[in-house]
Amino acid sequence: MRVSRSRTWLLRLVGLALGAACSATVPARLCERRAGPFFRGDLDAQRALARGARDWLDADADALAFHTGSPRFDGEWYLIVHMAAALGFGQTALEHDELRAEHGPLVARAAERILGPRGRAHDVDAWGEDPLASLDAPPERAHGHLAFLGYANLALSMERRLGGDAPHATVNDAITAALVRRFDASPSGLLESYPGETYPADGAAAIASIALHDRATGQDHRAAVDRFLATLRTRCTDPASGLLYQRVDSTTLAARDGARASGTAMAAFVLGYAGRDAAAALWPALARQWDTVIGFGGVREYPPGVGGRGDVDSGPVLLGLGVSATAFGIASARRAGDEGRYRSAFASAWLFGLPDERGGALRWAAGGSLGGVLLFAVLTARSAP
């Protein structure tokens, strides 16, 4: 049977298209080939990540300097690096008892830096008062200070969760009690991060710190946690996309910034420390935002039909995929048991993070301390450790 010339060319064209499609996905397949051990939580994989992150924790202060052009953002990033370090070292110690003796002191070291003057300077500058000195203020007159208190207390609660000698237990108790009083007294159910600025993701970190403190100490603040989660679900969530509003009015909780994946993924990340159910409500929205570009996965920053270039919260937005949303989304994918999405985002992290494996340590050449330590925390995230 003879095949016509036109049909021959059609077959060749189809073959070329299939070959190009396969070739286009080869780099992603190569980048994701190491994802399995990290998804499963293999000891050697987590130890390599921890050794790379420890390089930053061992570094002097100059190596941890940020230059965003804003002292506030520089301070926030310094705080987040050390919070992520505390969470990463803590959750890997809980997953592998062999790491506890080494990682426990590293959690305490990260907590010590957070509580130091540099860790809270951005909050002091914004409020004109020290957040730690304000803990005993009457709740009806106290400021929120969530740009510091929530994230700091999450690190302290992780230190407490490891058991044994927790050097900052007294501070952890004091911050937790102050946060509970302030949430209980808040007419809106949320607290401000900065004067006139309220971010649901910051509130999520504070509530998660309370829940993790309860798990460590046996106290019970479920009423406060449940009230916050109900407010988050009914007042701070875009009904169309299921994403959280990035910022809300401090009094009415009306949206002051649109629904965004970066804030949602950050909230889901920290709420995972309050328990699987606390973060589970946000996972379907993040899963719907997931997309792939020639095999490399990530989370779209904006809901369908909405565009934008991103900002300091989202990081760069590349082909619609947000760097911050994708990074924090990795943690939710692992907690949800979604290996496919985890592997696709891992491929993106491997490509853009520029991994460097030497001496049994996995370091990331791109992203500096923020990228390296954050990847350690999200790749090893566990629910309610």
Q: What architecture is domain 33-379?
A: Alpha/alpha barrel (1.50)
The CA dihedral of 81, 84, 90, 96, to the nearest 10 degrees, is -110
CA atoms within 13 A on the CB side of 291: 17
Residue 129 DSSP one-character state: S
pLDDT tens digit at each of 385 positions of the chain: 444 555 555 444 444 344 444 445 677 888 988 999 999 999 999 999 999 999 998 887 666 777 778 889 999 999 999 999 999 999 999 999 999 999 999 999 999 999 999 999 999 999 999 999 999 999 999 999 999 999 999 999 999 999 988 999 999 999 999 999 999 999 999 999 999 999 999 999 999 999 999 999 999 999 999 999 999 999 999 999 999 999 999 999 999 999 999 999 999 999 999 987 889 999 999 999 999 998 899 999 999 999 888 888 888 898 899 999 999 999 999 999 999 999 999 999 999 999 999 999 999 988 888 889 999 999 999 876 7
Domain ranges of the chain: 33-379
- Paired tokens of 259: 């629904």
Amino acid at 285: A
Whole-model pTM: value is 0.91
**Helices 169-185, 149-161: crossing angle, 10 deg rounding:** 130
